[in-house]
């Protein structure tokens, strides 16, 4: 019961920014193009927050905080996909023509977005418990598509923004967590070798 209440609260928190975007659009307070930045940025942020607890808990060790974070990371990943879908919806509304969308498909700033989105589909599609049980070890392999999705998503951001700083600042915490994890792994290997 407590768990269900916690998960419901989490989903409400995750949904509020998206619902706010849709509400503002429906009230004509903003244009669809104004929502491209916040929806894309929220998607990337959620992806990063979903990817952080793995390497951090490996380096610092499992504690209550990391256990909770790990337990909700699938929800964070699904929400990241939800915001990518919303981002696509705003793009479609902004373009308002399939021909115009096809026309700009060749632009690096655009096809990188589509590619990042396509890479997010398989992990999101198998994010439920049944698929996890059925796929076993393959499940993790499919989930690894989020790594190229994130990197290409950040590339998409750099290409559209004409500035690398915002995208790289977002990548920094994750890059640091990856460095810590590999430092931890090589330290453990050295200790094991010296004990052998």
In the complex, residue closest to ligand HEM by CB = 40
In the stretch 35-74, what mask flags binding to ligand HEM with x, by CB under 6 A? -xx--xx-xx------------------------------
**Among 35, 123, 156, 174, contact with ligand HEM (rule: CB under 6 A):** 156
**Among 21, 72, 76, 160, contact with ligand HEM (rule: CB under 6 A):** 160
Q: What is the DSSP letter of 62?
A: -
Q: Which tokens hold the place of 168?
A: 């790289």
Number of residues binding to ligand HEM, judged by CB under 6 A: 21
178 binds ligand HEM (CB under 6 A): no
Find the shortest distance in angstroms from Cβ 41 to ligand HEM.
4
Contact 146, 47 (CB under 8 A): yes
How many angstroms separate the most distant Cα atoms in the chain? 68
86 binds ligand HEM (CB under 6 A): no
143 binds ligand HEM (CB under 6 A): no
Closest CA to 83 of 127, 117, 115: 117
Nearest 5 degrees, angle CA 91-CA 18-CA 104?
Answer: 10
Q: Which residue has the tokens 């598509």?
A: 145
What size, in residues, is the chain?
Answer: 196
All residues at 6 or more sequence positions from 48 whose CB lies less than 8 Å from its CB, including other chains:
150, 170, 171, 173, 174
**Among 116, 124, 174, 177, contact with ligand HEM (rule: CB under 6 A):** 116
Find the shortest distance in angstroms from Cβ 141 to ligand HEM.
20
Closest CA to 161 of 126, 112, 128: 112
Q: Which residues bind ligand HEM (CB under 6 A)?
A: 36-37, 40-41, 43-44, 84, 87-88, 91, 110, 113-114, 116-117, 120, 153, 156-157, 160-161
């Amino acid at each position: 019961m407590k768990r269900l209440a916690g998960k419901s609260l989490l989903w409400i928190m995750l949904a509020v920014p998206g619902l706010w975007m849709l509400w503002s659009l429906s009230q004509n307070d903003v244009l669809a193009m104004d929502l491209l930045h916040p929806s894309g940025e929220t998607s990337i942020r959620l992806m990063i927050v979903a990817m952080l607890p793995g390497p951090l808990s490996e380096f610092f060790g499992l504690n209550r905080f990391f256990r909770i974070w790990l337990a909700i990371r699938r929800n964070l990943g699904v929400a990241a996909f939800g915001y990518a879908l919303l981002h696509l919806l705003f793009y479609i509304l902004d373009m308002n023509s399939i021909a115009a969308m096809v026309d700009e498909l060749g632009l690096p700033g655009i096809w990188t977005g589509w590619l990042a989105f396509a890479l997010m589909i398989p992990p999101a599609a198998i994010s439920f418990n049944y698929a996890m049980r059925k796929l076993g070890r393959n499940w993790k392999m499919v989930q690894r598509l989020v790594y190229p999705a994130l990197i290409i998503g950040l590339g998409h951001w750099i290409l559209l923004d004409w500035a690398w700083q915002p995208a790289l600042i977002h990548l920094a915490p994750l890059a640091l967590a990856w460095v810590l994890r590999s430092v931890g792994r090589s330290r453990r290997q050295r200790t094991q070798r010296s004990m052998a």
